[in-house]
Structure 1
Amino acid sequence: MSRRLPVLFAFLCLLMTLLSCGGSGGGIRGLVYTTNWTNYQALGQIDGASQKVNIYDSAGLPVTTVIIQNVTAPIESTSIELANGNYLLESQLFSGANAGGTQTGELVVPFTISGGQVEIKSAVGNSVDSIAVSPSQASVEVGRGQQFRAYGQDPNGVKTFITPDSITWSVLGGIGSITTDGNYTANAEATGSVRATYTNGRLGSAIVTNTAPNVTHGKWTILVYMNAANDLQQYSVLNMNQIEKVASNPDVRFVVQWKQYPAQFTGGTFNGTRRYLAASDFSNNINSTLLQDMGTTVDMGSAQTLHDFITWGKANFPADHYCLIIWNHGNGWRRSLGNLDLTRAVSYDDEMGTSIQIWELSQALGSEHFDIISWDASLMQMAEIAYEIKDNTDYVVGSEESPPAEGLPYDLVFAPFRDTPDESARNLSKSFVDGMLAVSSYASKKITQSVIDTSQLPALASAVSSLGIELTNNASSLTTAIQTTRSTAQSYSPTSARVYRDLKDVCLNLEANTTIPSVLTATANVKTALANAVVWEGHNSNSPNSAGISIDFSAGSTFASSASDYQLMKFAQATQWDEYLSIAP
Structure 2
Amino acid sequence: MLRTLTAALLLAAPCSAGSWPPALSGGRAAAAPVPEASAPALADWTVMYFINAKNNLESSGLMDMNQLELTGSTDRVKIAVELGRMNGQHEGDDHSEGDWTGVRRYLVAADRDTTRVNSPVLEYRGAADMGSWRELVSFIEWAKVNFPARRYALVLWDHGNGWLPVDDANAPDFYSLKGFSLDDETGHEFSLPQMARALEATGGVDFLMLDGCNMGMASVSYELKDYARALTASEEVEPGVVVRYAQFLGLLNSRPGMGAEEFAANTVRTYRDYFVNGGGDSEGDPLTQSALRLYRMSAFREKLDAWALAALRAEPVVLRAAAAKARFYGEFPAYKDLCD
The TM-score normalised by the length of structure 2 is 0.79
Task: Specify the SS of the correspondent of 2:153.
Answer: strand
AA aligned opposite 1:449: Q
Is structure 2 residue 202 aligned with structure 1 residue 363?
Answer: no
Does residue 482 of structure 1 match 2:319?
Answer: yes
Query: Could you say if the C-alpha distance between residues 256 and 220 of structure 1 is closer, same or farther in structure 2, counting changes exceeding 3 Å?
Result: same
**Partner residue in 1 for 2:294:** 454
- 1:428 and 1:295 map into 2 onto residues whose CA distance is 33
Partner of 1:410: 245
Distance 1:250 1:263 in 2: 39
CA distance in 1, matches of 2:187, 2:136: 16
Q: Look up the match of 1:437.
A: 272
Q: Within 5 Å, which residues of 2 pair with 1:159-308?
A: 215-264=40-89, 265-268=92-95, 269=97, 270-284=100-114, 285-296=116-127, 298-308=128-138
Residue 5 of structure 2 is matched in structure 1 by none
CA distance in 1 between partners of 2:327 and 2:246 (Å): 30
Instruction: Quote the residue 2:306 is aligned against.
Output: 466
Question: Which residue in the other structure is 1:569 paired with?
Answer: none
Q: Any idea what the Cα deviations from partners look like across 1:77-105, whole Å, max 9, x if unmatched? A: xxxxxxxxxxxxxxxxxxxxxxxxxxxxx
Cα deviation, 1:323-379, whole Å, max 9, x if unaligned, reads 000000000012343599xx9810110110000111212321124121100001000
Report SS of the residue matched to 1:245: helix
Q: 2:256 aligns with which of 421, 424, 433?
A: 421
CA contact (8 A) 1:414 1:431 kept: no
CA deviations on 1:55-81 (whole Å, 9 max, x unpaired) are xxxxxxxxxxxxxxxxxxxxxxxxxxx
Within 2, Cα distance between the matches of 1:485 and 1:278? 49
Q: In 2 relative to 1, CA 344–360 (structure 1 residues): closer, same or farther, beyond 3 Å?
A: closer
Give the secondary structure class of the aligned counterpart of 1:403.
Answer: coil
Deviation string, structure 1 residues 483-525 (Cα, Å, up to 9, x no partner): 2222222210133xx51111222xxxxxxxxxxxxxxxxxxxx
2:181 is aligned with 1:351: no
Equivalent position of 2:12 in the other structure: none
Write the distance in 2 (CA, Å) between the matches of 1:344 and 1:455.
Answer: 21
Q: 1:231 to 1:344 in 2, by over 3 A?
A: farther
Give the superposition deviation at 1:417: 0.6
212, 230, 238: which one pairs with 1:395? 230
Query: What residue is the counterpart of 2:29 in the other structure?
Result: none
Per-residue deviation, residues 371-408 of structure 1 (Å, max 9, x unmatched): 10000100001111111111100001100011111246
Cα deviation digits, residues 414-436 of structure 1 (max 9, x gap): 22111111122212221111111
- Please state whether the residue corresponding to 1:396 is helix, strand or coil: strand
Q: Kindly indicate whether the alpha-carbon contact (under 8 Å) linking 2:73 and 2:79 is maintained by their aligned counterparts in 1.
A: no
Which amino acid in 2 is paired with 1:441?
Answer: G
Q: Give the distance between the partners of 2:145 and 2:248, measured in 1 at CA.
A: 25
Matches of 1:483 and 1:378, distance apart in 2:
26
Write the distance in 2 (CA, Å) between the matches of 1:425 and 1:431: 10
- Structure 2: which 5+ residue stretches go unaligned? 1-35, 172-176
- Secondary structure of the 1:295 match is coil
Q: Is the 8 Å Cα contact of residues 491 and 499 (structure 1) preserved in structure 2?
A: yes
Unmatched runs of 5 consecutive residues or more in structure 1: 1-210, 506-585
1:436–1:447 contact (8 Å) kept in structure 2: no
Q: Structure 1: how far apart are the matches of 2:78 and 2:209?
A: 16
- 1:212 and 1:240 map into 2 onto residues whose CA distance is 31
Task: Answer whether contact 1:373 1:395 (CA < 8 A) is retained.
Answer: yes
Q: Would the aligned equivalents of 1:307 and 1:366 in 2 still touch at CA under 8 Å?
A: no
Secondary structure of the residue that 1:466 maps to in structure 2? Answer: helix
CA RMSD after TM alignment: 2.2
Q: Does the CA-based 8 Å contact 2:242-2:280 persist in structure 1?
A: no
Deviations 1:434-475 (A, max 9, x none): 111122223554211111101111010011111222223x15
1: CA distance, partners of 2:110 / 2:235: 32
C-alpha distance in 2 between matches for 1:471 and 1:445: 30
Alignment-mate amino acid for residue 243 of structure 1: L
Identity across matched positions, percent: 29
Q: Mark the CA change 1:213 to 1:379 in structure 2 (over 3 Å): closer, same or farther.
A: farther
Larger Rg: 1
1:4 is matched with none
Say how many residue pairs are matched.
287
SS of 1:391's equivalent in the other structure is coil
TM-score in terms of structure 1 length: 0.47
Q: How do residues 40-119 of structure 1 correspond to structure 2 at under 5 angstroms?
A: none
Q: Deviations over 1:222-255 (max 9, x none)?
A: 0001100000010011101111111153211110
Could you say which structure has the greater relative contact order, defined with CA pairs below 8 angstroms and 6 or more residues apart? 2
Q: Which residue of 2 aligns with 1:380?
A: 215
User: How many Å apart are 1:411 and its aligned residue?
Assistant: 1.1
Amino acid aligned to 1:488: K
Q: Distance in 1 between matches of 2:281 and 2:206?
A: 27
* More helix as a share of residues: 2
* Greater CA drift, 358-367 or 312-321: 358-367
Kindly tell me: are residues 303 and 420 of structure 1, through their superposed partners in 2, closer, same or farther at Cα, counting changes over 3 Å? same
- Residue of structure 1 equivalent to 2:16: none
SS at match of 1:287: coil
Judged with a 3 Å threshold, the aligned counterparts in structure 2 of structure 1 residues 407 and 224 are, in CA distance, closer, same or farther, namely: same
